[in-house]
A and B are shown apart, each in its own frame.
Chain A
Amino acid sequence: NAGVTQTPKFRVLKTGQSMTLLCAQDMNHEYMYWYRQDPGMGLRLIHYSVGEGTTAKGEVPDGYNVSRLKKQNFLLGLESAAPSQTSVYFCATGKGLNTEAFFGQGTRLTVV
């Protein structure tokens, strides 16, 4: 039982390159979330999904796209990476309303 798995764990991109971060869960949870965390700050919600085929914007969605084609996977895409997107990205999943969320171990992304 792996829980929430993020791929990759580390990545360095050049400005303008694109990439996709994968979040996979084996807990059959409906809700999935993508957060970013910058130094000295709390986590900020980028996008989230309340079920397969659905996505919605969070606090800081600009420059990112997401897809939830399968219930167990939530993909975060950067179409044209910028240095301001250098951050640690966390994925989380949740069973439903008024339940806790479970977080992955993060993806450290550097854009140069």
Chain B
Amino acid sequence: DAKTTQPPSMDCAEGRAANLPCNHSTISGNEYVYWYRQIHSQGPQYIIHGLKNNETNEMASLIITEDRKSSTLILPHATLRDTAVYYCIVRVGGTGNQFYFGTGTSLTVIP
């Protein structure tokens, strides 16, 4: 199973772009990279996912390196409401389609 490594914490100034890195050097060719966030003690919220191409939606952009060993989640204009724990997850293959969470990155957006 591919594991992920994320920095435990990061700060970002309000209005600036937040760039959250993730290493997944053992990722397999058919495994997707997913990003979720958890605000306070709420249920995790889906942000974005991708396989090899860069992806963008209304919340964020996902940049995956060509060798797929790392990725970066970009929140283009961080707001105070983006303060949360961000989880980078590589989807386990097989029939269960399980998500395995690590400890994530605690992002604090500073006014």
Contacts and interface: CB of A to CB of B under 8 A. Distances in A.
Interface stretch (B19-27, B44-52, B63-71, B76-84): B44-52
Contact of B103 (A41, A50, A58): A41
Looking at chain B, what size class is its interface with the partner chain? 20 to 34
6 contacts: A43-B44, A45-B100, A56-B96, A100-B49, A101-B46, A104-B43
The 7 A-B pairs at the shortest CB distance, nearest first, are namely: A103-B43, A42-B101, A100-B46, A43-B101, A42-B103, A103-B44, A105-B43
Interface in A67-111: 88, 90, 92, 94, 96-98, 100-106, 108
Give the interface residue-count category, chain A.
20 to 34
The listed residue with most A CB atoms (<10 A of its CB), out of B32, B43, B91, B103, is B43
Interface hub of A44, A59, A101 (most chain B Cβ within 10 A): A101
A106 B102 CA distance: 18
A56 B97 CA distance: 12
Given A45-B100, A56-B96, A105-B43, 6 more contacts: A31-B96, A44-B101, A45-B99, A98-B49, A104-B43, A105-B42
Interface string B91-110: 10001111111111000000
Given A42-B103, A106-B42, A98 B32 contact: yes
Tell me whether chain A's interface is mostly helix, strand or loop, or mixed.
Answer: strand
Contacts of A100: 34, 46, 49
Interface of A: 4, 31, 33, 35, 40-45, 48, 50, 56, 58-59, 88, 90, 92, 94, 96-98, 100-106, 108
Contacts of B104: 42
Nearest to A104: B43
Contact of B102 (A42, A45, A88, A92): A42
A106 B99 contact: no
A105 B46 CA distance: 13
A96 B32 CA distance: 13
Given A41-B103, A42-B87, A98-B32, A50 B43 contact: no
